[in-house]
Structure 1
Amino acid sequence: MPAAEDLTLLIQAARAAGEIALKYSGPTAQRWDKPDGQGPVTEADLAVNAMLETMLPQARPDYGWLSEESEDSAARLSKDRVFIIDPIDGTRSFAEGSATWAHSLAVADRGEITAAVIYLPQRDLLYTAAKGGGAFCNGAPIRVAAPAALNTTKVLTAKPNLASQHWLGGAAPAFHRSYRPSLAYRLARVADGGYSAMLTLRRSWEWDIAAGDLILREAGGVISDRLNKPLLFNNPTPLLDGVVAATPATHLELLQALDPKGPGIAGQ
């Protein structure tokens, strides 16, 4: 199936997901904590996931399925193409009543993302990309920020990533740090030029990163794991060894500053 046709399907699915999620009030939605410290889930996450798990496989019955809110199955590993879905990325943000949560939908073809959507319905932001077709926000082309010295750049990252053990010389570079709870939204903001980089040294679930991976690359950015290995998706254990996503120059500078023998950050 051509990536452009998959993208059309993902856009339809994302908008339908937004209609469902907006029927819930985040702070009053029923909420549970997942086992093993994997974070919260709400009735909105489950309702969106149920719709997507019906809609998307019906449209592409030969595709595999990987979603944060579905029980994983090894059956996806035998499929060339796989949906990789986070029904609501930034569930804590959703539950607190913030508007920075997103629907993250992607298709991986033999490990490479070929169609992707990140949709923030409360902010009316629809980020889209199909392989080779560029990246867009609400239909307008987007591009990563212009090159800049690292000490003047804006980087989206959590405070634990600045700890001394992760950096050569024992200190993180002097960049301007900001934070957003949704990894997908962080990647989208680098793609649209609002920030020069996003960085997480924590092991990251594929569904948080998949859509942003393609949108960032189609916008002219570079993305890798924390050891500068390319990201591949639909792994047996769907975890990535951190993520460094940035403009080309900033990506290089961050990797040169990171200690490759650093421990990373435990957990997901």
Structure 2
Amino acid sequence: MSIPFGYVSPEQQMRDKADYARKGIARGRSVVVLQYEHGILFVAPNPSRALHKISEIYDRIGFAAVGRYNEFEALRLGGIRYADINGYNYARDDVTARGLANLYAQNLGQIFTESLKPFEVEIVVAEVGDSSDEDHIYRLTFDGSVFDETGLVAMGGQAEAVAARLKERYREGLPLAEALEAALFALTEPGGERSPASQLEVAVLDRNRPHRKFQRLIGPKLERLLAGQGEAAPAAEPEAPEAPGTPEAPVTPGTSETPGLPPTAPEGDIDTGSNG
């Protein structure tokens, strides 16, 4: 039997596709995911305020990705639809990171084998449990392979070098500020400058939050963490002494608000729960 002109063996096709996908993923910036004292931390250099690499999928589940934005955004939206449908039809506890990882593995594997061009993506699906032993971090590659990671994972860019630097600083049970410091140390090349807070995308799955565990860290809260002050609130300013003889302002019955002053919101950052 003669071999047709232009024939390429299946093995060579798979190698070519894998090389193509790896080169595309390596061109992007790395993303780091690691466990800390109260949950799971996601950190990514990202100057864009609109195109997120890190997002919420469901109550306890977060998503991080590197590679082509349009491709991993399609996967993220598919995961949200899967989670919403299963949570509605069965129970919210039935939506797990393992189920999502299996769904993504099937989709990525089918695209890799059947399509001419594979997805140039690598993703992490993480779920926070009631304790650190119940946390799950799954890393999925462009060909649908699934890796159950423990403690930390780095993907995209120079992932091996980033992971090596992260292991130098990582230990179990790190406080949030120290975990963020370890992530930034890993993401910064030796001799390079760290990304400013405005060019960082940082989020956590905090097991101590009620209901939805995902929270983006932005603004003053992120700046305090970068300054090494942890999650402590800034010290309150001392009250000015009351002038003698000044009558107290009347309080409207049934309310605790002083007349003439607008109602105030609770202190701290407000998490809108946006999925990005």
- TM class by smaller structure: under 0.3
Q: Which has the larger radius of gyration?
A: 2
TM-score, with structure 2 as normaliser: 0.27
User: 1 or 2, which has the higher strand percentage?
Assistant: 1
Which structure has more RCO (C-alpha within 8 Å, separation ≥ 6)?
2
